[in-house]
Chains A and B, each alone.
Chain A
Amino acid sequence: MKTVLTAVCLATVCGQLIAADWLQFRGPGGTGISPEANLPVQLDAKSVTWKINLPGRGLSSPVIVGDKIFVTACSSTEQDRLHVLCFSAKDGAKLWERQFWATGRTMAHPKTSVAANTPCSDGKRLFCLFSSNDLLCLDLDGNVLWLRGLTRDYPNASNSLGMAASPIVVGDTLVVPVENDSESFSAGIDVATGANRWKRDRPKLACWATPVAVPDAKSGQPLVVLQSGPGLSVVDARTGQEAWYFTDGASTMSSSVFAGGVLYVPSKGMAAMKPGAAGVHPETVWHNNQLSPATASPVVLGDKLFTLNSAGILSAADLKDGKRLWQLRTTGPHSATPVGFGKHLYLVNEKGLVQVVDTSAPEGAVVSTLDLKDTFIGTPSIGAGALFIRSDKALVKLGGS
């Protein structure tokens, strides 16, 4: 975690032309913010560098490692064919594809699909989780390293609406949230072998929020924030042992974000807290009940926190005290979490309208839009100097060369 944060800070401070990997849901450190600079702001039809068809549905975000883009998808009427695809970031050429059959249940709400969870990478391996709780590990060339069927292992671990929380890598442990109404758990899995390091029972409650890595306030050791309706359980990434907790409730949809040493939690609005340590409670920084996000997760950019509500209102709040600074009406509905760079945020609504927001404008301002005329539920990714967005049908590159 420290390494990632340092890399982000260094990139922001020192470089304007840094190409950064986007290794998980919401990219570096799960912040949604890229250190890259030369990304398109004034969007028009020419901003679409390439668009390629995908073999199946999905709302998982692309993962970007160097010049490779990794995407998951599902196909067949039962959505029981799982696809892992690798494309060239430059020209969209397919470099390889592997298919697998789902070993778990594939039922999902029509708005989502089995390829809902965003994969993650440690830079050498790709970890793909699907709503069927199939967990696949491949190297970046498509060689299979290990396979798990988590519903196969734990038969009541599933959600008839569909699972969507994404795994994250912390050190050499893959943290996998499998939180649902029945056999609910999160697990820490050895990245090398696929074996469990730990498995923790979690509240019996469907949850779609993705874990976040934070440092232990005393030791600096990596901890993982496991979020659910009752609140947070923050555990040691390698052992799964609980270090500290928060019991004032949390969203089961939008995920927390950690930035600048503060954890921002969707909890009865937004709660900002300095993370605790083993046996030490977190320190509340502020709470604002007017900043409730809907499906999209909060984002920290510069000195502001941003949330999107169900009416498409983008709220900007002061990071220091949580005071709402301005509200901007955008065109919704939004399922995707905003991502950004510099002073700009990209918002992609469900109908495919990409909106670029200048967050430095006094009341925020949409400075350009581009209608991609397709349904986009998944969160975009930034890397290789471009924005990558996927629909059920296609992967689109905006900007870059």
Chain B
Amino acid sequence: MPVVTGSGFANLLPMKPLSLILLGTTLALSAHADFKSDIAAIHQVGAEGKGNPPAAAAWKNLAKADAKSLVPLLTAMDDANDLAANYLRSAVDAIADRELAAGRKLPQSDLEKFLAEKQHNPRARRLAYELIARVSPATGEKLLPTFANDPSVELRRDAVQQLIDAADKALAAQDKVGATKGFSNALTYARDEAQIKKVAGELRNLGETVDLPKHFGFLTHWKLLGAFDNTKLVGFDTAYAPEKAVDLTATYDGKLDKARWVDTATPHDYGMVDFNRAFGDLKGVTGYAFTEFNAAAAGPAELRLGCKNGWKVWFNGALLFGRDEYHRGARIDQYRLPVTLKAGKNTILVKACQNEEVKDWTKEWEFQLRVCDASGTAILAKDRPATPKGPATAKADSKKGSK
């Protein structure tokens, strides 16, 4: 480093590197501070449009950044709510598109490192994977089989599809042993309903037994109570006795008859609990279902419900959610209700309201409920009873792909 002496222009020249370093450092610190404040602005978006104007200004700044900012933006999704994550992912899209269009490279090794760190937001990791596969399809292909047990449902789905495709090939080649092994392996990792249905059907065709309710984590044993009134839909907002206290020995005045708790155990592959089977095909009625879930450990979980009737769900006595939509359709995982399991006994109460429509497609009075983690992996009760015997409902359709 030259010693700065004297004065004049000539003497300033040796200073230039130092000043540039200082300037560069200042700019870098400033840029870092700007990045942090932009991320903070985006993280603050919330309900009913809160925080949108500063988030949009921040988005413009972030989207102008170069490819080095991609991993920091992906990382910022770890602490982002779903709206903020959308701001961040669209900024990632904008940067990646612009950089690639300009012939510049993406930081592939940094993206691979981020992808390997499973604690990150699963969707951000999937996005990182797609960027990697975009710039290096061979790397994408190489990495894909490693995701069969990944927290990202999309990465897992694609990896499982490779297992299914391989099992399909074995089956086409008359290799039943290989196919059975392949489909069994695929089922171990599959969380996507279409893939599970396909694999379960193939395994059953191959003579294997598949316990789908257990794989999904459907609760199969319930106490049912019915039927209270839901004429003109009054039942949805009427707090009948079980909503105040569950007494499995009690008898109540129902809409048509005395209402008592009865046992039911469903063999249905998708855990469907049918009130009509217990109480007859009733209309304009309200029923309740109660069960206990003996958790091996405390922790976060999801109750996932499918129901085409009006419904409410209580967990450990607290109302989680209710919805008064009737006969617009039902499917597995239609509603995802986050809960925190206690170690040991947890209680689940479901209210199902049937309306008074008489068309064929309004006959169902039923629900399905499973306990799983965020990736859809079943969480099984410590004392889960054996799945009741009954006809299988999932069949393979070899003409239909599972993709």
- A: which residues have CB within 8 A of B? 76-77, 96-101, 103, 105, 107, 109, 136, 142-149, 152-153, 155-156, 158-161, 180-182, 189-190, 193-196, 204, 206
If A107-B334, A109-B329 touch, whether A101 touches B123 (CB-CB below 8 Å) is: yes
Select the residue from B90, B91, B192, B331 with max chain A CB neighbours within 10 A.
B90
Chain B residues with CB under 8 Å of A136's CB are 86
**Residue from B192, B329, B330, B334 with most neighbouring chain A CB atoms (10 Å):** B329
> Judging by beta carbons under 8 Å apart, are B87 and A156 in contact?
no
Chain B stretch 44-59: residues in CB contact (< 8 A) with chain A: 45, 47-49, 52-53, 55-56, 59
Interface string of B316-332 (1 = CB under 8 A from A): 00000101111011110
Partner of B83, one of A147, A158, A159: A147
In the bound complex, CA of A136 to CA of B53 (Å): 13
Query: What DSSP secondary structure best describes chain B's contact surface?
Result: helix
* Contact assessment for B59 and A161 in the assembled complex, using a CB-CB cutoff below 8 Å: no
Q: Write 12 A-B pairs (CB below 8 A) sorted by A numbering.
A: A107-B331, A136-B86, A146-B55, A147-B55, A148-B49, A149-B82, A149-B83, A158-B325, A160-B329, A161-B329, A181-B328, A206-B328
Distance from B121 Cβ to chain A, minimum over Cβ atoms (Å):
10
Let me know if B87 and A143 touch, CB within 8 A.
no
CA distance in complex: A196, B49 (Å): 7
Say yes or no: A147-B87 contact (C-beta < 8 A), given A194-B52, A195-B48: yes
Contacts A152-B47, A155-B321, A160-B308; is A96 near B97 (CB within 8 Å)? yes
Q: B: which residues have CB within 8 A of A?
A: 45, 47-49, 52-53, 55-56, 59-60, 63, 82-83, 85-87, 89-91, 93-94, 97, 123, 154, 157, 192, 194, 308, 321, 323-326, 328-331, 334-335
Given A107-B334, A109-B329, A193-B53: A97 in contact with B97 (beta carbons within 8 A): yes
Taking a contact as CB atoms closer than 8 A, the residue among B83, B94, B328, B334 that contacts A103 in the complex is: B83
CA distance A105 to B45 in the complex (A): 20
- A12 shortest CB reach to chain B, Å: 38
C-alpha gap A194/B194 in the complex (Å) = 37
Contacts between chains A and B (CB distance < 8 A), count: 105
| B323 partner, pick from A76, A77, A156, beta carbons under 8 A | A156
The complex places the Cα of A174 from the Cα of B111 at a distance, in Å, of 39
The chain A residue with its CB closest to the CB of B308 is A160
Q: Are B82 and A103 in contact (CB under 8 A)?
A: yes
Does A181 contact B326, Cβ atoms closer than 8 Å?
yes
A96 → chain B closest CB, angstroms: 7
B93's partner among A98, A149, A159, A161 (CB-CB below 8 A) is A98
Contact call A99/B93, Cβ cutoff below 8 A: yes
Q: Nearest residue in B to A76 (C-beta to C-beta)?
A: B154
CB neighbours of B86 from chain A (8 A): 100-101, 103, 136, 147
Q: What residues of B have a CB within 8 angstroms of the CB of A161 in the complex?
A: 328-329
Query: In whole angstroms, how far apart are the Cα atoms of A206 and B334 in the complex?
Result: 18
A145–B54 Cα distance when bound, in Å, is 10
- Of all chain A residues, the one with the shortest Cβ separation from B52 is A146
Residue from B52, B60, B63 whose CB has the most chain A CB atoms within 10 Å: B52
Q: Are A98 and B328 in contact (CB under 8 A)?
A: no
Given A107-B329, A144-B91, A182-B324, 5 new contacts (CB under 8 A): A143-B94, A147-B83, A159-B328, A160-B330, A181-B326
Q: When chains A and B are docked, how far (Å) is the Cα of A277 from the Cα of B118? A: 60
**Inter-chain contact B93/A97, CB cutoff 8 Å:** yes
- Given known pairs A77-B157, A100-B86, A101-B123, the reply for A194 and B326 (CB within 8 Å) is no
Within the complex, which residue of B83, B89, B335 is in contact with A99, where a contact is CB–CB below 8 Å?
B89
Residues of A within 8 A of B323 (CB): 156, 182
Known: A101-B82, A103-B86, A149-B83. A195 touches B52 (CB 8 A): yes
Shortest beta-carbon distance from A234 to chain B in Å = 25
